Amino acid sequence: MADNHIGGVLVEVFGEEYQIAASDARQMRKIAAYVDEKMREIAELHGGRVAPAKLAVLAAMTIADELFKSVHQQSEIAETAQENLERLTQLVDERADIFSSLLDRAAAPVPTAGSAAVE
């Protein structure tokens, strides 16, 4: 039977240690450092007079706001990329039509000097 156990990682956030289940310890340490940084920034803004639980909520709200902004920006970038792709496709199609017309003209029989024009 396969062992799918995820090891724990000891991290410190705002002076408290937490054992967190994680498959990528390095990534979890980065996340913990980021949360710690946000909590310390907020604590500094409030002169250290905010309880750690409230700091955690404020940090979570700040991080969620960053996430929402990032998702919105990513959505706008994807939308712009889609619009650019559609414009590029249209240009390629137009150029292909022009090229096809030129090939058709080049392949058309050229009237010789001895042939009579029919009107």
Closest by CA to 29, choosing from 19, 41, 42, is: 19
Over the stretch 6-53, which tens digit does the pLDDT of each residue have?
Answer: 679 999 999 999 999 999 999 999 999 999 999 999 999 999 899 999
| Confidence check: pLDDT of 115 > 80 | no
Integer CA distances (angstroms), 66 to 61, 71, 99, 102, 114, in order? 9, 9, 49, 53, 79
Query: Beta strands 8-13 and 16-21: pairing type?
Result: antiparallel
Contacts of 117 (CB under 8 A, 6+ apart): 111
pLDDT number for residue 118: 54
- Lowest mean pLDDT, pick from 9-13, 77-81, 104-108: 104-108
To 10 degrees, what angle do helices 25-45 and 52-107 make? 120
| Confidence check: pLDDT of 79 > 70 | yes
| Confidence check: pLDDT of 2 > 60 | no
CB 25 within 8 A of CB 9: yes
- pTM of the full predicted structure? 0.67
| Confidence check: pLDDT of 94 > 90 | yes
Say which residue, 22 or 108, is predicted with more confidence.
22
Buried b (16+ CB within 10 A) or exposed e, 13-32: bbeeeeebebeeeeebbebb
